[in-house]
Structure 1
């Protein structure tokens, strides 16, 4: 497995961005809460390469990596999360509620799939070939709105891709304790195609998914892509209720540790550059005045 410098650079920018968020929260620099995608960065980077300019991404509470994989904008994102001048949404969206052309997030679990289905319906009517791509976790498959949206997507044959980041734990509840059956079986109940991704080789993932994404555009028809992935960090902030051995096992499965062992020179070079870049972004944003916003 060998990644391009561009892919690895993006992965490491996301990783260092998320690490610094946890540090900033501990230092009292962030209000509210924040959810990081540590360990899951490769999902966003793999999918971003399959997107077209007209596609719309609908993300969730753990969406920083999805944004940074599509838009190389850590400055605007951090300013938004810190409530400083130059924030992506004027400092009022915070960590979980972001908007940019072609991208939006919501911290309300289950809400995003009906929104994405509506966007996909509009694409089908007015913008043939464009996709709505929605990211969600395995825990969200307990929400009724998910099944209402899947039903409509299947009936109306919408150009919708549902990317499930199945990290095995819903906040603090293991999947086995909250899900009967499987995501594949639940997708099949609606006649929706399902693809499973178990590794983190970016080239292999893209090769596996490219045909499914193209069919979703062309036919159109919904697709569920399930990534069996790995959450390194806490659910949010520092609230990790997993046993120490579960956290240790997650670290053993980390893509970053594996890649660093296989390609130490490339990893160390780009890791250092990403860390320095995010340090500079933090210093810049910390020095900005608070965001000001008024209703228009």
Structure 2
């Protein structure tokens, strides 16, 4: 078995991360590469789960890639902080470009982001953190944003529509507004919390949920990553310059199941979700889309191979 240091070096330096993220490409190419990479990585994770190769569970963001790419590319990765939830792979890849480390983590290998001990839902890398407890990340994000305020940093926290049923979220909105905290709450509304349609549990307008706290709202209904990026950039500028919280609502669609086989939606509802797939929307504007897709598949293949060669985490 190859040494861990050799595998870690192979997994990626800063220059390698930039290449994986496509930072040397045009904006459209860069965004398309990141979205395709997230899609291919998560599809492979589902395949690996079916063979028993993963430790624990996994939740994919297939269909929601434009949210991760559009929002995170509006940030300063060297300064700003991202908090994510159980459906965090897309956010993590768009932030870090650490594909091999992600696979290794989910496979319980020592090359992983947290040396194979955090699993799919608990990633900690530079200024990126995730946790599977819904609502619990909101006060953590407000606290970290308060601590980083003097740096001119912005903190982004991704939540789902189901999280708007958690009291901790509203306490966090209140504290962020009262203390003038530079935190951007990003609500990815895919219309269903695990297997429960939001209409059965949530009242009122989610796009304006934060307005009673005096928090400015930004809203978008669609899957065009360029539109999401433009709106997210406006929201991030506002938070950074005003040192105030903001609410970014994105009406989105989850194509895959909640986790693996737990999809109770009707075939018509799933077809409607597939009709809003963000990848074809951008693909038509990228001349070298096929080359990018081949590159992404090679990156995923290499990442899986590297992860499988790393030692299994013990203890």
Shorter-chain TM band: over 0.9
The alignment's C-alpha RMSD in Å is 1.7
**CA deviation digits over 1:224-275, x for unaligned, max 9?**
1011111011101222111122112211221123444x35853322122212
Normalising by structure 2, we get a TM-score of 0.87
Q: Are 2:64 and 1:31 aligned?
A: no
Counterpart selection for 1:246 from 254, 260, 269: 269
Shift of 1:67: 0.8
Distance (whole Å) between structure 1 residues aligned to residue 148 and residue 110 of structure 2? 34
Per-residue CA deviations over 1:197-236 (Å, capped at 9, x if unaligned) read: 1233333333223232112112211001011111011101
The answer to whether residue 157 in structure 2 is matched with residue 150 in structure 1 is no
Of 60, 78, 82, the match for 1:57: 82
Matches within 5 A, 1:78-227: 78-124=103-149, 126-127=150-151, 129-227=152-250
Deviations 1:168-196 (A, max 9, x none): 11111112112100123321111111111
Higher mean C-alpha displacement, 244-253 vs 60-69? 244-253
What TM-score do the two structures reach when normalised by structure 1? 0.93
* SS of residue in 1 equivalent to 2:82: strand
Q: SS at 2:170's partner residue?
A: helix
Question: Which portions of structure 1, spanning 4 or more consecutive aligned residues, are displaced by more than 4 angstroms?
Answer: none
The unaligned stretches of length 5 or more in structure 1 are none
The alignment covers a number of residue pairs equal to 289
